Amino acid sequence: MSLNCIRIPHKKNTENFETIRYPVPDTVSIPMSQHMGVHCEPLVSVGDEVKVGQKIGDSEAFMSMPVHSSVSGKVVAIDDYLSSNGRKCKCIKIECDGKQTVSEDIKPPVITDKASLIKAVRESGCCGLGGAGFPTHIKLNFDENKTPIDSLVINAAECEPYITSDYREMIENPNDVINGIKTIQNILKIEKVYICIENNKPKAIELLSSMTASDASINVISLSSLYPQGAEKVIAYNATKRTVKEGELPSHQGIIVINVSTVAFLNRYFKTGMPLTWRRITIDGDAVKSPCNVKVPIGISIAELLKFAGCEESKTRKVLTGGPMMGMCIYDLNTPVIKTNNAILALKKDKKEVQTNCIRCGRCINACPAGLMPTELEKAYQQKDADRLKELKVNLCMNCGSCSYVCPAKRNLAETNQLAKMFVSENN
Ligand code: SF4
Ligand code: SF4
Task: List the CATH number of the domain containing 338.
Answer: 3.10.20.600
In a domain, 380, yes or no: yes
Q: Is the CB of 407 under 6 A from ligand 2?
A: yes
Q: Residue 196 has what pLDDT?
A: 98
Query: Can you tell me whether residue 173 is helix, strand or coil?
Result: coil
Same domain, 244 and 289: no
Please name which ligand lies nearest the alpha carbon of 414.
1
Ligand 1 atom at minimum distance from 228 CA: 6
**Cα 94 to Cα 169: distance, rounded to the nearest angstrom:** 28
Model confidence over 67-111: pLDDT tens digits?
999 999 999 999 998 876 677 889 999 999 999 999 999 999 999
| Centre of ligand 1 from the C-alpha of residue 397, in Å | 5
Model confidence over 169-201: pLDDT tens digits?
999 999 999 999 999 999 999 999 999 999 999
Work out the angle at residue 237's Cα, subtended by the Cα atoms of residues 232 and 241, and round it to the nearest 5 degrees: 160
Where is 81: in which H helix or E strand?
A: strand 73-82
Query: 61: phi > 0 → left, psi -120 to 50 → alpha, else beta; which?
Result: beta
The H helix count followed by the E strand count for the chain is 13, 17
Q: Is the CB of 57 under 6 A from ligand 1?
A: no
Beta carbons within 8 Å of 171's beta carbon, 6+ residues apart: 203, 204, 207
Same domain, 55 and 145: no
Same domain, 48 and 192: no
**Cα 424 to Cα 428: distance, rounded to the nearest angstrom:** 6
Longest dimension (CA), the chain: 64
- Which residue puts its alpha carbon closest to atom 4 of ligand 1? 403
Contact by Cβ (8 Å): 397, 372: yes
Q: Is the CB of 411 under 6 A from ligand 2?
A: yes
Q: Which of 222, 245, 272 is the last residue of a domain?
A: 272
**Cα 337 to Cα 328: distance, rounded to the nearest angstrom:** 13
**Cα 361 to Cα 391: distance, rounded to the nearest angstrom:** 22
In a domain, 99, yes or no: yes
In a mutational test of the pocket of ligand 1, which residue from 363, 399, 404, 418 has the highest number of ligand atoms less than 8 Å from its CB? 399
Same domain, 120 and 194: yes
Q: Which of 237, 252, 272 is the last residue of a domain?
A: 272
Q: Containing domain of residue 265, as a range? A: 114-272
Same domain, 90 and 221: no
**Rg of the chain's alpha carbons, rounded to an integer?**
21
pTM of the full structure: 0.94
Same domain, 134 and 237: yes
Q: Is the CB of 400 under 6 A from ligand 1?
A: yes
**Mean of per-residue pLDDT scores for the chain:** 95
Same domain, 33 and 88: yes
Q: Where does residue 193 rank: exposed (0-12), middle (13-18), buried (19+ CB within 10 A)? A: buried
Where is 111: in which H helix or E strand?
A: none
Q: Is the CB of 364 under 6 A from ligand 2?
A: yes
Same domain, 146 and 231: yes
Same domain, 90 and 145: no
**Cα 74 to Cα 101: distance, rounded to the nearest angstrom:** 12
Sheet containing 55-58: order of strands: 41-42, 55-58, 67-68
Ligand 2 atom at minimum distance from 406 CA: 1
Same domain, 81 and 119: no
Residue from 244, 253, 252, 180 nearest 218 by CA: 180
Q: If you ran DSSP here, which 8-state letter would residue 327 be given?
A: P
In a domain, 335, yes or no: yes
- Which residue puts its alpha carbon closest to atom 5 of ligand 1? 368
Confidence check: pLDDT of 131 > 90: no
- Which residue puts its alpha carbon closest to atom 3 of ligand 2? 358
Sheet containing 151-156: order of strands: 218-223, 192-198, 151-156, 255-259
Same domain, 131 and 37: no
Lowest-confidence region among 133-137, 215-219, 234-238, 349-353:
349-353
Domain count, the chain: 3
In a mutational test of the pocket of ligand 2, which residue from 354, 363, 413 has the highest number of ligand atoms less than 8 Å from its CB? 363
- Which residue puts its alpha carbon closest to atom 6 of ligand 1? 400
Task: Label residue 146 by pLDDT band (50, 70, 90).
Answer: confident
Q: Is the CB of 5 under 6 A from ligand 1?
A: no
Q: Is the CB of 375 under 6 A from ligand 2?
A: yes
Residue from 241, 197, 201 nearest 222 by CA: 197
Q: Is the CB of 187 under 6 A from ligand 1?
A: no
- Which residue puts its alpha carbon closest to atom 6 of ligand 2? 364
In a domain, 166, yes or no: yes
Q: Is the CB of 402 under 6 A from ligand 2?
A: no
**Cα 269 to Cα 279: distance, rounded to the nearest angstrom:** 14
| Centre of ligand 1 from the C-alpha of residue 334, in Å | 30
Where is 424: in which H helix or E strand?
A: helix 413-426
Q: Residue 132 has what pLDDT?
A: 78
In a domain, 358, yes or no: no
Q: Residue 351 has what pLDDT?
A: 61
Beta strand extents in 199-312 (DSSP E only): 218-223, 255-259, 278-284, 292-297
Lowest-confidence region among 20-34, 261-275, 279-293, 414-428:
414-428
Q: Which of 219, 242, 272 is the last residue of a domain?
A: 272
Same domain, 218 and 144: yes
**Cα 160 to Cα 302: distance, rounded to the nearest angstrom:** 20
Q: Residue 2 has what pLDDT?
A: 46
Contact by Cβ (8 Å): 55, 65: no
In a domain, 6, yes or no: no
Ligand 1 atom at minimum distance from 396 CA: 7
The better pLDDT of the pair 23, 4 is held by 23
**Cα 36 to Cα 87: distance, rounded to the nearest angstrom:** 11
Residues in the chain: 428
Ligand 1 atom at minimum distance from 4 CA: 5
Where is 153: in which H helix or E strand?
A: strand 151-156
